[in-house]
Amino acid sequence: MEPVIVIVGKVSLSVAVFAIGLTTTTADVTYVLRRPARILRGLFVMFVVVPAVAVILALTFRLTPAVEVALAALSVSPTPALLSKRAMKASGQGDYSVSLLVVAALVAIVWVPLSVEIFERIFSIPLHMRGFTLARIMMTSVLGPLGAGVLVRAVAPHFAQSAAPACASISGAVLIIWTATVVLVMLRSMTSLFGNGTLAAIAGFAVVGLALGHLLGGPRLETRKVLALYAVSRHPGVAMAVVQANFPGQPLILAAIVLVLVVTALVTLPYLSWAKPDERKTAAGE
């Protein structure tokens, strides 16, 4: 049986995705049919470029095995749905953000197990991941809640409009408390991973991911911002599933995953602040 803290995190994330669905239309989801080249470019950055960056950094720095596994697991994990909201705020283009999220969740079911095998050969670490497990994670954390929100919006648009802010606020508050709790519980294990260039490698992973996502996001500044955020934001549920399937009972690797997520989030803050002026322009209709 899963610990309560894990269940709370999963439920909160699902509610946050449901809130996004309440503000999403079917046209947003089917954006991929109108702009397939943009979606394919985004998938290339998320599933090929970012893992390649993780490999280069892991081979460059003398990282501990726990950090190597954490970087490998996170680099092949698709973007968490929660960040879709931040990406939409930064760019004002929710259709591209949501459509990329949905397609990435579907592609991950097939691509993640293949990527794990590639990392196994590169680092000589036994890794495997079942597609069924990925499908279950994507359905419960992304596709299911998002689809339910879209359905509610289609059937009861007025209710969806009024319920979305409340769902987003509640889930956001719970996720902040949940994240702080997880960090406090694992703080000692996280600090034990410092050294050997660990923080520099993780920060480099975030900076390079942001830069490449922005540069490869196409000619439009809006899609560049979305892809930059998606490039550095990974799904912790998928990464932890990879770890649990291959290294059960090794909390140090889970602490390394949390460390990567925390450092990446801190490095991303300046980019989000830089994006805010354009967000105000978008709201003003410029």
Can you tell me the distance from the alpha carbon of 29 to that of 134, in angstroms, rounded to the nearest whole number?
Answer: 21
- Residue listed under structure tokens 């990446």: 264
Q: Could you tell me the pTM of the whole model? A: 0.80
Can you tell me the distance from the alpha carbon of 243 to that of 238, in angstroms, rounded to the nearest whole number?
Answer: 9
Nearest to 263 by CA among 198, 219, 216: 198
pLDDT of residue 10: 78
Find out whether 38 and 96 touch, Cβ atoms under 8 Å: yes
Domain locations in the chain? Answer: 10-275
Instruction: Given CATH 1.20.1530.20, say whether it is the number of domain 10-275.
Output: yes
pLDDT of residue 143: 84
* Tokens standing for residue 183: 């960090």
Tens of pLDDT along the chain (286 residues)? 456 767 777 788 888 888 888 888 888 888 888 888 888 988 999 889 988 888 888 888 888 888 888 888 888 887 765 655 555 555 455 678 888 888 888 888 888 888 877 877 777 777 676 667 778 888 888 888 888 998 999 999 999 989 988 888 888 888 888 888 888 988 998 999 888 788 999 999 999 999 999 998 877 777 888 888 888 888 887 888 788 777 777 788 888 988 998 999 899 888 887 766 444 444 444 3
> Residues near 281 by Cβ (< 8 Å), separated by ≥ 6?
none
